[in-house]
């Protein structure tokens, strides 16, 4: 392979994977919303900052709120949940 062809391959690879190197992370909720956890399960939903969570949902404990997909707390809450009294427990549906 010629040097020019090799450089063209490197340039193409850089363009194709360029976004991955920028560290983009998707937010859990949109601006003006907060995430809430399904009580007794690992589901979640986003609610307007102006409203309380619907029945069956609770706010995450302070300091343990997931902000971005796959962040520390998003991963944690995949296997944990809150019971009806607000105590953190291992989620029954944790796989």
Please tell me which residue, 66 or 21, carries the higher pLDDT value: 66
Residues 36/64, Cβ–Cβ less than 8 Å: no
Q: What's the pLDDT tens digit per position in 24-83?
A: 889 999 999 999 999 999 999 999 999 999 999 999 999 999 999 999 999 999 999 999
Nearest to 37 by CA among 74, 2, 68, 5: 74
Q: Where are the domains of the chain?
A: 26-90
Please tell me which residue, 77 or 16, carries the higher pLDDT value: 77
Whole-angstrom distance, CA of residue 26 vs CA of residue 21: 14
pTM: 0.72
- Residue in the structure block whose two tokens are 């003006």: 32
In this structure, the number of other CB atoms found within 10 A of the CB of residue 56 comes to 13
């Amino acid at each position: 392979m010629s040097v020019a062809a090799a450089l063209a391959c490197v340039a193409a690879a850089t363009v194709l994977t360029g976004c991955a190197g920028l560290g983009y992370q998707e937010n859990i909720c949109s601006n003006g919303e907060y995430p809430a956890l399904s009580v007794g399960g690992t589901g979640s939903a986003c609610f307007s900052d102006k409203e309380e969570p619907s029945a069956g949902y609770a706010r995450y404990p302070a300091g343990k709120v997931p902000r971005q997909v796959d962040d520390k707390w998003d991963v944690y809450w995949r296997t944990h949940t809150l019971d009806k009294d607000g105590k953190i427990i291992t989620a029954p549906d944790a796989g």
